[in-house]
């Protein structure tokens, strides 16, 4: 069982992702934006982070950059409706492990988490 940090400003999205993650046998903690995620990542050392891109206070791109600058090496799975090549390339350049199209299905989430955990 791994600790997964879900970051999304939409409570409904967090609930749906949480269900899939918990069904995969993992524990979940949540953050409502990138700033909260950064604080929780430092405090709880999750095994994987799942984050949205478009959020208030700190977006997903800034979160990825901040994690790298702080030397926090946790695999990050980006969940976004923006699946344009430019967004995917930017996420990869900033160190994201993988990107899933929103809304992801439970098997996609569970598979992505397994791959991210195996990469550590």
pLDDT in tens, 83-112: 788 888 999 999 999 999 998 999 999 999
The H or E element containing residue 87 is helix 85-93
CA distances in angstroms from 38 to 34, 51, 74, 104, 106, listed in the order given: 6, 11, 11, 23, 25
Band (7; pLDDT cuts 50, 70, 90): very high
Q: What is the structure's pLDDT at 27?
A: 97
Q: Supply the angle between the helices 60-69 and 34-44 in degrees, to the nearest 10.
A: 30
User: For residues 14 and 103, is the Cβ–Cβ distance under 8 A?
Assistant: no
CA 58 to chain centre: 13
User: Residue 31's closest CA among 16, 11, 47, 48?
Assistant: 11
User: For residues 30 and 14, is the Cβ–Cβ distance under 8 A?
Assistant: yes
Tens-place pLDDT, residues 33-89: 999 999 999 999 999 999 999 999 999 999 999 999 999 999 999 998 877 888 889
| Cα separation, 39 vs 44, whole angstroms | 9
């Amino acid at each position: 069982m791994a600790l997964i940090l879900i970051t999304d400003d939409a409570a409904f999205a967090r609930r749906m992702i949480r269900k899939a993650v918990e069904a995969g046998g993992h524990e979940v903690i949540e953050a409502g934006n990138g700033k909260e995620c950064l604080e929780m990542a430092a405090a709880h050392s999750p095994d994987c982070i799942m984050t949205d891109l478009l959020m208030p206070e700190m977006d997903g791109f800034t979160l990825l950059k901040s994690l790298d600058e702080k030397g926090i090496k946790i695999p990050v799975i980006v969940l976004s409706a923006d699946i344009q090549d430019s967004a995917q390339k930017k996420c990869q350049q900033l160190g994201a492990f993988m990107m899933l199209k929103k809304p992801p299905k439970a098997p996609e989430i569970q598979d992505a988490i397994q791959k991210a955990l195996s990469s550590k």
